[in-house]
Amino acid sequence: MTNKIGVPLLVLGMMSAVPALAGPDWSKVPAKELPAFFPGPSGLQWILEKPDHSAANQILEKNRGCAYCHDEDAPDIGALMVAGKPVGQGKVVLETHPPKGKRGAMPVTVQATHDGQNLYLRFEWEAASGAAEKKLDPKNEVKLAVMFDDAKVADAKLTGCWATCHMDMRGMPDVAAAAKQHPKAKALGWEEGPTKYIRESRTALDSKNKPRGGWDKLKSDAELEAALKEGKFMDLIQFRSGKGEKPVDGYVLESRHMDGGTSLVKAEGGKQGNKWVVTFERKLAGSGRGDHTLAPGKLYNVGFAIHENHANARFHHVSLGYSLALDNPKADINAVKQ
């Protein structure tokens, strides 16, 4: 079976000649090829609204995840977004300022394995062919982030990373300018507007009235701390390509926290020929704030995002939501022990 980029969805056996940067013998690890596409400003409130998104009923009524409909046509959506063309049920031009020269999608080869103590992840994709029109992040040519959910974030199983993406965040159409004056703005990193958050951190979300989302409906500090202890957060790790730039080991709850975790052992990457290769090594044990413990057999919800060509904020390519497990063939990404 192939997707619409023309690449196989499952590739077993030997990888390309690009050498691994760290970890196990990747030539013995099964690989899955998944599309990463440009989503434009399509936040959670947009994809869950029937007037906007034709497949909203698949999510809301039939309990089917985004990958059920879009695993093959995600590249087509990305192409429409970067061309500034209409998308969705309402045929609205959602991306009104498409980045010049940005590609709509690219296939990413993903591998996962573990050794009983650590999870190893490897991502490989073809580098962008042209230079960026503007270096939004001058320090980092590439960033790659991975988010995990321990089956406790309501929207993560069906929508993947969209569980953290809302229409009132910075860079989005309904950005809440008033957030900059919020008493907690500095502590939450809201100097340029709200960052990522999940439904479990708010008392309510509004999908119909602008600003769509719930940036100002924060739960109390006690409730947020309880949610963290209950595992209701997205575990976040990120590789950064810039010289001297440290990897991120954080989480998303009421805001995006770029630190707190201690489970990430290393994140390495580099351009080799015309490809980027990025690897992560992460302890299975959740040893820090915002770290999930990864147990054998259990299904975890996972998604990844790639900022290429010095992109920043929402101008990334993203995967759909998939399942990850240790030694469980039912998972979309099965990390088999090596």
Q: Please give the full DSSP string across 46-61, using - where no structure is assigned.
A: HHT-TTT-TTHHHHHT
Average pLDDT, the chain: 91
**What is the model's pLDDT at position 6?**
43
Coil, strand or helix at 227: helix
Nearest 10 degrees: CA dihedral of 245, 104, 195, 119?
-50
Residue 211 preceded by cis peptide, ω within 30: yes
**What is the model's pLDDT at position 7?**
42
Distance CA 58, CA 134 (A): 38
Helix (H) or strand (E) holding 229: helix 221-229
**What is the model's pLDDT at position 23?**
65
* Bridge partners for 235 per DSSP: 148, 251
Highest mean pLDDT among 2-16, 77-91, 221-235: 221-235
**pLDDT tens digit sequence for 272-315:** 999 999 999 999 999 999 999 999 999 999 999 999 999 999 99
Tell me the torsion sign for CA atoms 279, 150, 9, 65: negative
Q: What is the mean pLDDT of residues 85-101?
A: 88
Angle, CA of 98, 102 and 105, to the nearest 5°: 110
**pLDDT tens digit sequence for 112-140:** 999 999 999 999 999 999 888 889 999 99
Q: Is the pLDDT of residue 13 over 60?
A: no
**What is the model's pLDDT at position 52?**
85
Most distant CA atoms of the chain, gap in Å: 54
pTM: 0.91
User: Structural domains in the chain?
Assistant: 10-337 (2.60.40.1190)
CA proximity to 322, closest of 156, 109, 77: 156
Scored b (16 or more CB within 10 A) or e, 272-290 reads: beeebbbbbbbbbebebeb
Distance CA 78, CA 94 (A): 12
Strands 317-318 and 300-307: antiparallel
